[in-house]
């Protein structure tokens, strides 16, 4: 439920806007309003380096004008904004060349209950957040004499409300909040080698979370990278850590979008019902997980959210749809029609998109693999990965695995392959998914990957 004061304000504006839209001649019309605030504090050497506490709100209007859908947006409410919105939406509709008519949605039969708001987080004062961030840095610095500094230490919180109403009877409101902490330490070994490493957390129960433990873990991750060397170029069995696999899955998540498929930007076109991944791979998109970053009761069109299998035991079950793409494919929308902001047009986005964990530990995966590499970090995902072809060539770091055990650190390597091939080559899935971002994954064991390192 959204804040009553916000609802009262926007309800009054909506009534005036809708009355003016009817009088101007719009066939139907919709108001989408969002309000949010964000807090962040950066710590360096025991002091506040940067502090922000900002808010933003805005609205978009869309309506059917002469048979086409027009859009307009504004960053503020006010009676004087109404003519601007209607004139711009009408003008926008007249130049639209898309032959597919968008239709407003009257609403789903029922909406699920999902927890997206934590009252305790909303009540944490700024002074406590700063104190928590300071304790995060302090714990990382004091972990080991080899920790030189914590170059990046940040705590963030954010909250938002959204409201949708239209002339077809849709009327929805929801609010959400969340928090995050990030610590990356710089360490120096006895041989002078300098390495960076860190960890992060995202969630809602900030008051109960152990920030000092996160700081110590960040330092330990950085320290574990000391002594890193490259490995000979060749084909390696590879286990991706959960963080590395999350990054890779997030980069290629768009291939599961029905919009990408219909525009020819995904090689998954026409493959629903076909095997696209290993038997152990199931991927779900679940907005109904309580208190997770992508949780929501409805999408930006007002379609009720639902948990769905995207891939099940290696078989592609569905694409992610908004109402427009679902209509084209003759299927039901999946509740993934989201706006990136009130200024953006409607697109398709995942909610809580994840590879389903198994009961196997990372240690069990390494024992099964025997020898190879653990990849813990990937760089160059924006430039070294092609979401259309699935090809990637990425700088990486990690650890050598010998006799099923984690060994020395590895750096200065490049891993290359194809995402669609990699999905089929996943032999085992771990149990360590964290669900701290919209895209999550446990560690996964892959049959083989090309690794460029030292010349033979």
Instruction: For 196-228, write each residue's pLDDT tens digit.
Output: 999 999 998 898 899 999 999 999 999 999 999
Q: Assess whether pLDDT exceeds 90 at residue 103.
A: no
pLDDT at 344: 87
pLDDT at 7: 57
Burial grade of 312 (CB within 10 A; 0-12, 13-18, 19 or more): middle
Q: How confident is the model at residue 151 (pLDDT cuts 50, 70, 90)?
A: very high
pLDDT at 208: 86
- The stretch 356-380 carries a mean pLDDT of 97
Please, where are the H alpha helices in 34-79? none
Report the percentage of the chain scoring pLDDT > 70. 98
Q: Assess whether pLDDT exceeds 70 at residue 339.
A: yes
Give exposure, 196-233, as e/b (b: 16+ Cβ within 10 Å). Answer: ebbbbbbbbebeeeebbebbbbbbbbbbbbbebebbee
Domain ranges of the chain: 4-217, 227-249+357-452, 264-355
- The stretch 404-415 carries a mean pLDDT of 96
pLDDT at 455: 72
Q: Would you state the structure tokens that stand for residue 19, as one six-digit string? A: 């009355």
CATH 3.30.70.100 fits 4-217, yes or no: no
Q: Assess whether pLDDT exceeds 80 at residue 8.
A: no
pLDDT at 456: 57
pTM score over 0.85: yes
Contact yes or no for 317/272 (Cβ under 8 A) = yes
Q: Would you state the structure tokens that stand for residue 38, as one six-digit string? A: 């964000």
């Amino acid at each position: 439920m959204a804040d009553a004061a916000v609802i009262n304000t926007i309800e009054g504006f909506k009534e005036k806007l809708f009355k003016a839209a009817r009088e101007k001649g719009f066939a139907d019309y919709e108001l989408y309003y969002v309000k949010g605030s964000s807090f962040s504090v950066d710590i360096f050497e025991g002091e506040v380096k940067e502090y922000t506490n900002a808010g933003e709100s805005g609205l978009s209007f869309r309506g059917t004008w002469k048979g086409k859908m027009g859009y307009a947006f504004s960053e503020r409410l006010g009676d004087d904004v109404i003519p601007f919105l209607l004139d711009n939406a009408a003008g926008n509709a007249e130049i639209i060349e898309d032959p597919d008519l968008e239709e407003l949605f009257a609403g789903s039969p029922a909406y699920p209950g999902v927890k997206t708001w934590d009252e305790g987080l909303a009540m944490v004062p700024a002074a406590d957040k700063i104190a928590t961030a300071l304790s995060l840095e302090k714990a990382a610095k004091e972990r080991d004499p080899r920790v030189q500094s914590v170059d990046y230490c940040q705590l963030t919180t954010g909250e938002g409300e959204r409201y949708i109403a239209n002339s077809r009877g849709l009327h929805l409101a929801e609010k959400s909040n969340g928090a995050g902490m990030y610590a990356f330490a710089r360490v120096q070994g006895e041989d002078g080698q300098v390495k960076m490493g860190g960890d992060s957390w995202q969630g809602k129960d900030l008051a109960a979370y152990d920030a000092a433990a996160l700081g110590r873990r960040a330092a330990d991750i950085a320290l574990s990278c000391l002594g890193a060397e490259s490995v000979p170029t060749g084909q390696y069995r590879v286990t991706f850590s959960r963080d590395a696999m999350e990054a890779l899955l997030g980069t290629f998540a768009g291939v599961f979008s029905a919009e990408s498929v219909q525009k020819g930007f995904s090689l998954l076109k026409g493959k629903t019902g076909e095997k696209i991944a290993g038997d152990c791979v199931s991927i779900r998109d679940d907005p109904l997980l309580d208190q997770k970053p992508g949780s929501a009761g409805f999408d930006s069109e007002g379609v009720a959210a639902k948990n769905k299998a995207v891939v099940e035991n290696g078989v592609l079950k569905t694409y992610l749809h908004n109402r427009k793409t679902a209509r084209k494919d003759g299927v039901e929308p999946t509740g993934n029609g989201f706006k990136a902001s009130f200024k953006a047009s409607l697109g398709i986005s995942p909610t809580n998109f994840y590879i389903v964990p198994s009961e196997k530990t990372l240690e069990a995966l390494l024992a099964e693999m025997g020898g190879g590499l653990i990849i813990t970090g990937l760089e160059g995902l924006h430039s070294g990965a092609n979401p259309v072809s699935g090809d990637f060539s990425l700088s990486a770091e990690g650890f050598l695995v010998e006799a099923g055990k984690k060994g020395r650190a590895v750096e200065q390597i490049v891993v290359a392959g194809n995402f669609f091939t990699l999905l089929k080559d996943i032999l085992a899935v771990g149990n360590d998914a964290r669900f701290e971002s919209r895209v999550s994954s446990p560690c996964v064991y892959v049959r083989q990957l090309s690794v460029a390192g030292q010349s033979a």
